[in-house]
A and B are shown apart, each in its own frame.
Chain A
Amino acid sequence: MNRDRRKVYRIVIAALVGGLVVSTLVAAITGAAGLSVREAFAALLALFRDGAGAAGSFPEWAPRLLLDVRLPRIALALIGGAALATAGTSFQGAFRNPLADPYLLGVSAGAGLGATIAIVWKPLESLGIYGLPLLAFIGAALAAFLVYRLATFGGRTGTASLLLSGVAVGSTLTAIMSFLMVATERDLHTVIVWLMGGLGAASWMKVWITLPVVVGAFVFTWLNARRMNLLLMGEERARELGVDSQRTRRNLIIVASLTTAAAVSFTGLIGFIGLMVPHIMRLLVGPDHRRLLPASALFGAVLLLVADTVARSVLAPAEIPVGIITAVSGGPFFLYLLRTRRGL
């Protein structure tokens, strides 16, 4: 079993890296701009050879389109997917619960409320492009702690109380958010577009802001992988074996909230990646976080990129919000998990 897991891990990582390359290529040459696959591919090759000044057997604007629209969008999808999957794995480890994910735990709702406040409260506009992610982060972190505190009785955090308080906090925050939206009608559209989740407004700027946060959060989480393994045996047992349980758990929750906020602040609320991805990877590579985290991050990245490519191809030239694609595939999967949880 152990030997198998190591082998499976290598195969899974190799397959995911392959999938990453293929899905990136496919995403780059797919789109609504009326560029044929051959032209897009040629432009892409030329772009890599000559940079933005590329020329060849494709429309003149094609390299610009790829460089300024498709490539940042691909990058943001990869970063966002990896971030959501890492955060989901982290939450599941810190909460010792395979059903925990940013969406269910109200963290996404917290981020959403933060983002809404950033959009509707004009004084915050002085913070510029950083205002929205900052408030989304604060919202996400506060929601995570609120849920955690509410679900903890006498030092024990139960599955049911966790999910219930997550749902309760989430819907309360969503209600406040709805109120703000209705109260300040003129921003309604901006907020709704943000909430539905989409990578349409991707830019290199957003990539450069999120990339270091997500990479840093992943490295931090991965360095805590052994502690996360021990935490799965409960806080007291982890402490007996030498882990400062409370601090580790708190740090993991902060970092996972930060990661979630970094992702959703630019991509909107994209559900179920954080729940599904760690689960599927756990079935394949086992629960050891040293293997689970890299596999989940890669899979999350590929999955969101594929979902986004589907979202902008199905009704092209119109786009479906990517959150709809992930929810449509994630909802039934979540029900399946609830029915067959045994043995996870």
Chain B
Amino acid sequence: MTALTFAARGLEVALAGRHVLGPLDLDVPRGSFIGILGPNGSGKTTLLRALAGTVDICAGTVLLEGEPLEQYSTAALAKARGVVPQTFSLDFSFTLGEMVAMGRYARDESYFPSARAGRLRSRRTKTSRPHGHEATDHPSVAAALEHTGLSDLADRLVTQLSGGERQRALIAQTLAQDTPTLLLDEPLNNLDLNHQLEVMQLLVRLQAEGRTLLVVLHDLNMAAQYCDRLLVLGDGRIMAQGGPSEILDPALVMDLFRVRVSVHREGRRPYVTPLWSRAAASLADSPRTGVHVMAGGGAARGLIEELVLQGLAPTVGIVSVFDTDFATGRQYELDVISSPPFEPFSAEAVRELRAATAAAAVVVIAPIFFGQGNLELLRVAAAAQAEGKKILIIDSPPIHERDASGGLAGDMLRELLESGATPFSSAAQAVEWLRYSSL
């Protein structure tokens, strides 16, 4: 007996004469929870349909539980695997309960599937139920509605459901089918965050019951968070497969989606933050890209994030290696000029700062808490201003509330302002100015 739910060898699929998938080999061990990732048009849905047996394979073989797919009858296949497609259309006014109960078709041979369940219940409750085929009587249907949070909506007409309810109805219909293997094509479509998490947790429970799950997902973090293994498709081929921490890597994501991301590996599962899209036009494309952020004590966190969102990759510094701003800069993989903690800035750090301001077009001074130790920042800023660099000062909270240098910092900031620096009351305003100024 094989331990593989699916084994594909040399699988190739062509749709309307166009080659869209393969050739690829794939093993899906029983009980695994595999996330299928890849850009639009990479063949994810086609792979799922090929495994489900709903699309013709033009070369290769797919074994389901060791048996070639083509040896399954339609009915036998429906007992072996359930499919959640991306959408469905049902223009007739079935109730949600009736629609979910349709999933029992392959399982219940009797004409009125839940007639027996209905009779059992009516005997218990001593009520007469001559037609006893209420859709939701079957335990699997009731459980499917329960799992998807739809029990209260069972009598609602399908034609009156919201997008998210329709999506969950589709999942419930497939759950009612009660199959050991489930193939889901973007099951989180149209769902709000709450229901996305509920569905993913439901899938984890189904896996714990011993089911095999293949899920096409768009959200890399959902996939990393819940799936055991990830399968990355690009151009109809498998680009990578393995555990989430092996797979989610900035180079691969850039390669597939043309998006620069940072991957955080603090927790058990990696977490991906998109930085900027190479495809989208942004500040980063203009020649005046160079921005240096004078940071410290977490005062620059919001500013750094705003700049990164705008597609800029500012240099940051000087900050101590224990500083929150240091962590923020590193998180976005920026160049951060650092200095050892609890001592004056090192000569090397100051040299790097001068080089960074010289390379930048704009220097932004975050609302840092100033003391004798970091006045050097303002001296470098003054020097940069003298060289023609634009200086932006974020002065909220006002300097007198954060000046421990006996007024020296305040004086220096005033001098910068008198020489042409521009004050802002928030990071967002400064970034806005950067977007629209014709520097």
Bound together, the chains give a CA A282 to CA B103 distance in angstroms of 22
Q: Chain B: interface secondary structure? A: loop
Say yes or no: is B75 at the interface (Cβ < 8 Å to chain A).
yes
Q: Mark A211-252, 1 if CB is under 8 A from B, else 0.
A: 000000000000101110110111011011111110000000
Contact B155 A242 (CB under 8 A): no
Given A2-B136, A290-B112: A234 in contact with B89 (beta carbons within 8 A): yes
Let me know if A128 is at the binding interface, CB within 8 A: no
Contacts of A234 in B (CB 8 A): 88-89
Nearest CB in chain A: distance from B45 CB, A: 12
How many of chain A's residues have a CB under 8 angstroms from any CB in B?
35
A301 to B288, CA, bound (A): 82
Q: How many residues of B contact A (CB 8 A)?
A: 42
Contacts of B88 in A (CB 8 A): 233-234, 237
A245 → chain B closest CB, angstroms: 8
Q: A226-B111, A286-B94, A344-B91 are in contact. Are A237 and B85 (CB under 8 A)?
A: yes
Is B111 within 8 A of A286, CB to CB?
A: no
User: What residue in chain B is nearest A5 (Cβ atoms)?
Assistant: B95
CA distance A98 to B97 in the complex (A): 22
Q: Which residues of A contact B54 (CB under 8 A)?
A: 236, 239-240
Say yes or no for B52: interface residue by CB 8 A criterion. yes
Question: Given contacts A236-B85, A242-B74, A242-B106, are A2 and B134 in contact (CB under 8 A)?
Answer: yes
Given the known interface contacts A230-B102, A236-B85, A242-B75, the answer about A1 and B91 at a Cβ–Cβ threshold of 8 Å is no
**Cross-chain contact A233 with B89 (CB below 8 angstroms):** yes
- Residues of chain B with a CB closer than 8 A to A343's CB: 93, 159
**B79 lies within 8 A of A242 (CB):** yes
Question: Are B16 and A154 neighbours in the complex by a CB distance under 8 Å?
Answer: yes
Interface string of B112-150 (1 = CB under 8 A from A): 110000000000000000110111100000000000000
Candidates B90, B103, B111, B131; contact of A9 at CB < 8 Å: B131
Q: How far is the CA of A234 from the CA of B93 in the complex (A)?
A: 15
Judged by a CB distance under 8 angstroms, whether B21 is at the interface is no
Which of B77, B95, B134 contacts A242, CB < 8 Å? Answer: B77
Interface positions, chain A 308-325, Cβ under 8 Å from B, are none
Q: Which residue on A lies nearest to B135, using beta carbons?
A: A2
Contact with A along B22-63 (1 / 0, CB 8 A): 000000000000000000000000000000101000000000
Contact for A241 among B16, B90, B103, B111, CB less than 8 A: B103
A32-49 residues with Cβ-Cβ distance < 8 A to B are none
A1 touches B105 (CB 8 A): no
Within 8 A of B (CB), among A163-210: none
